[in-house]
Structure 1
Amino acid sequence: MSTQPPPPPHLWPAPPPQGYGYGPPPLNGFALASLLVGLLCFPPLGIVFGVVALVQVAKKGERGKALAVCGLTVSVLLSGVLVLGVERAADTLFERARASGAAEPYEDVEGELTDFAELGVGSCFNVPGGDLLAEDPFVYRIACTEVHDAEVTLAHALSGSRFPGEEELKESTAEECWRAQDAYAMDTWALPSYAEMFYFAPSRATWRDGDRRLVCVIGTAEQEHRGSLRKDAGMLEPDQVAFLRAMNEADLALGHAPDAGVDEALEEYRAWAREMDGVLAAEARMLDAAKARPKVAGPAGVQHERVEAARRQWRRASEATTGDGFAKAWDRALAELPVETEKTLRGAYGLSTTVPEWLEEAQGDGSGAPGRAPSVEQA
C-alpha cells in the first residue's frame, strides 16, 4: 500500500502577519521589578533585577530594555545613598564611643553591653574608662560581686508632658535621687568615702523626643569596688530603720539651706529654720520612744536632750529679724548636736560608727553642717 506524500511546502500553514493574532512581544517582568524594588524597597536588589532584565530582553526579544536601564540607574544611585547613610551612622556610633573615652566600645570593659533603659534598681554596671560624666556612655551590666563603676538606686519615668526647665529639673531630680540613695543604703555612715551620687536625667532636647527616664546611681569608679552597697529597710531591724529614717531626713533638711546670703534671703532662711525645727521634732519623737529600749536608752536620752536644745535655737533663728541674728542662732543650733553623741547612739543601734569624711570636714571647718557628694546630671 502506498503512502500519501506530504503536501508541498507552500501549503503548510504560515503564521499570520504582525498585528493579526500575536501582538507585540511581552514586557520583561524583571525590568519592571528593577525599577519598583530600587525605588521602594531595597536598591541593591534592584541592581540585580536590572541586570537580569537586560540579559533576558536581549535573548528573548522581550520589551522593557529602557525600563530595565532606568531601574538599574535608579537602583545604583539609591544604593550609593544607602551606603553613605550606613557609613555616617557607623561614624556617629564610633564618635560616641570616642566621646565616652572608649576607642573600641565593645572591648576592654568588663560586663555585657546593655541598653541603658534595661537597668533597674540594684543593677551594677561599668562604663568605658569609668567616666560617669561622659555624654551617652556605653553601659556594661555586670554582677555586683564583680568590680563595678556604679549601682542603680532608682530608675523610673518622670511624669508630666511639659519640660519643667533645666534648673527646676536639676533640683527636683537631685532631691529625689538623694532620697532614693538614703532608702537604698540607709546607713549612710557605712558608705565608702569614694561613693558619690550621680543621676542621669533627660535634657530639653531628649524630652522632646519622648525621653522621661531618670536613673539615680551610687558611683564607685574612683576605686575598685566589689559588692552591693544595698542596705535597705528589708535588711535592717525595725528600730534601726526608724532611727535611720529620722537621721537621714535631718541630713536632707540641712542640705536645703538657701544659696543666697542670709541678709539677701532672710525670709527663705527663716522658712528653712522652721523646716529644721519640724524634722528635729520628728527625730525627738523617735528618740523618746527609743528610751524604752534598754540597749539604746542611755544614748537615745542624751541625743533627745541635744535635739531639743537644737530645736530651741532653730526656733530663735526662725524669728530672727536680722541676718546676723539668724547666723548666731544657726551656729548655736549646729553646735548643740556634736558628732560624738550621734556616733555613740549609732553604735548602740549596731550601725556604722565610722564618721564620714564629709562630716569630719564640716566639723573641722566649724560649720557643723553635713555636706553631700556632688550630684551630676547626665542627659
Structure 2
Amino acid sequence: MSIPPPSGPHQPEGPVPAPRPPYGPPPYPRPPGGAGLPVYQPWTQGYRPYNTPAPVNGLAIASLVLGVLCCLPGAGLVLGLAGLRQIRRRGERGTGLAVGGAVLSGVGLLLWTLLFATGGASDLWHGVKEGARDGATVSLTEGQCFNAPGGALSGVTYDVDTVSCTGAHDGEVFASFRLPGGPYPQDDAVTGTADERCRALRDGYAMDGWAVPGYVDVYFLTPTEDGWAAGDREVTCVFGHTDEGGDLTGSLRNDETDLDADQVAYLKAAHVLNAALESVPDEKYTEDDLPGHRAWAGRVSAALGEQARMLRAHDWPAGTAGPVTALAAGLDKARAEWAEAAAARDADAFSAHYENGLDLIDPIRAIPVRSVLGLATTPPAVPDGEGGGTGMQV
C-alpha cells in the first residue's frame, strides 16, 4: 500500500534560510513578507574581519633582560613594576615578562646585597682580575721606567706600574727581543738565553759602562709557560738595583741620542774588546780547560787589533789625538801578549802571557782619553764573583 504525498506545493526539509540583503547604500528595503528579518550592514572603515593583537610592553622586555643578566637588578625591578602598570592601563601584552623580570631582578638585588654585606663582591672582583691576568702579558718599551709589585725584580708578576725615570723606580727597560717559536723550553733554557742576550744588548743603551753605577745589574722579564701557550715570546731587558727593594733614580741611558760623534767612536771601539773579554770559558782555571782558554786569548788578541784599528781610523780633534795615539800603541803591545797566550803549549806559559796582556789593558790606561772626551773616568768595580742576571717571569 502506498501513501500519497500531501497536497499543496512541495516544502524543503529543514529551516528556511533568510534572504540575503541587496547590495548598495543603506537603508535597505525590507523584503516582501519579511517582517521581523534582520537588517545587515556592510563592513566599513574602522572595522576589520580579523583582530590585531595588542603590542608587547617594552618595559616588560627590558625588565626580563636585566633580570636574566643580573647586571642591574635594581633597574630591572623598577622596570618590571612600571611595565605592569602600563600593561593594565594600555591593555598591552607582556604581563608574564614583567613579572618574570621583576622576580629575577629582585633575587639578583638580594644576592648583590648579600655579596656586599659579606665581602663576597670584593673576592669576586679579585677573581675576575686574576682570571684576566692569566692571559695577560706585561708590555714595556725601551726607555720606560717602572715599579714592580713589592719592589722585587724576581718571581712571577702579572703587572707593573710605569713611572717617570726622573724619580725613584725599580727598573729601567733598555732592550727587548723575541724568542723563537716552538714548544716551551725549560725555565733554565729561557733564563740562560735571556741573560746572554740582555748582557750583549746593554751596551747599545748605556754605551758608557763606566757611567753605570756598580749597584746596577741586568735583569729580565720572560714569558711563563702559560704566556708562551698564549703566544708570548718577548723578553724584556731591564736595569735594576742589586739590593732587593733598592731604588734607581734618573735614567741610565747614554747612547747616540745624547753623545757626540767622538764619544761614540771611542765607545764603539771599546765595546769590541769588552765583548771578547766576556767570552771567557766557564772553567775558571786554565789547567782545567787549556784549549778553551787559548781560544779565548785568540779572540781577545783579534779584538785588540780591531780596537786599535778603529781608534786610528777616526778623525779625532786636536786635543784628543795625542791620548788616543798613546792608547792605541798600548793596545798593540797587549795584542802581542794575548797572541802568545793563544799559542801557549801549557798552562804556565799561558798564565805568564795572560798576566802581561791583562796589565796592558788595565782600565786605568783609558782614563786620559776618557777625560778629554768628557766621559766617566772612574773604572767600574769588578764584582767578587761571577753572577748571571736575575729574571722575572710574566
TM-score (norm 1): 0.66
Indicate whether 1:229 and 2:252 are aligned. yes
Equivalence map 1:235-250=2 (5 Å):
235-250=258-273
Any conservation in 2 of the 1:127–1:137 contact (CA below 8 Å)? no
Q: Aligned pair 1:208/2:222, yes or no?
A: no
Distance change >3 Å, CA 130–CA 32, structure 1 → 2? closer
Deviations 1:119-140 (Å, cap 9, x if unpaired)?
A: 3221122234422224216422
Please report how far the alpha carbon of residue 308 of structure 1 lies from its aligned counterpart in structure 2 after TM superposition: 2.0
Q: What is the distance in 2 between the residues matched to 1:251 and 1:221?
A: 22
1:377/1:29 CA distance change after superposition, 3 Å: same
Asked if structure 1 preserves the Cα contact closer than 8 Å seen for 2:240 and 2:248, the reply is no
Cα deviation for residue 215 of structure 1 reads: 1.4
After superposition, the C-alpha distances for 1:249-302 in whole angstroms (9 at most, x for unaligned) are 322322221213544444333332232222222111123335965323333233
Which residue number in structure 2 is paired with residue 87 of structure 1?
A: 123
Larger Rg: 2
Query: Aligned residue for 2:19?
Result: none
SS in 2 for 1:332: helix
List runs of 5+ in structure 1 lacking aligned partners.
1-20, 98-114, 363-370
2:45 maps to what in 1? Answer: none
* RMSD between superposed Cα atoms in Å: 4.7
Partner of residue 325 from structure 2, selected from 291, 296, 301 = 301
Structure 2: segments with no counterpart, 5+ residues: 1-49
Among 125, 132, 138, the alignment partner of 1:116 is 138
Distance 1:254 1:96 in 2: 45
* Corresponding residue of 2:280: 257
Aligned to 2:362: 338
The answer to whether structure 1 residue 378 and structure 2 residue 364 are counterparts is: no
Identify the range of structure 1 (126-135 vs 228-237) with the bigger mean alpha-carbon deviation: 126-135
Which residue matches 1:218? 239
In 2, are the aligned partners of 1:200 and 1:216 still within 8 Å (CA)?
A: yes
> Could you tell me how far 1:355 is from its partner in structure 2?
1.9
- Deviation string 1:177-222 (CA, Å, 9 cap, x unpaired) is 2233212121111122322221112234421221122211222485
Deviation at 1:244, TM superposition (A): 0.6
Among 303, 309, 322, the alignment partner of 1:285 is: 309
Paired letter, 1:256: S
Contact 1:148 1:221 (C-alpha < 8 Å) held by counterparts = no
CA distance in 2, matches of 1:321, 1:43: 84
Residues 340-379 of structure 1 correspond to what in structure 2 (within 5 A)? Answer: 340-358=364-382, 374-379=388-393
Percent identity, aligned pairs only, is: 29
Cross-structure match for 2:181: 161
Distance of 1:256 and 1:330 partners within structure 2: 15
Three-state SS of the structure 2 residue aligned to 1:219 is strand
Aligned length in residues: 330
Q: Please give the residue correspondences for 1:143-182 in structure 2 after superposition, counting only pairs within 5 Å.
A: 143-154=164-175, 156-163=176-183, 165=185, 166-182=187-203
Whole-angstrom distance in 1 between the partners of 2:327 and 2:357: 14
1:90 partner amino acid: H
* Matched ranges for 1:175-194 at <5 A: 175-194=196-215
Q: 1:279 to 1:269 in 2, by over 3 A?
A: same
Residue deviations 1:83-105 (CA, integer Å, cap 9, x gap): 889835615858999xxxxxxxx
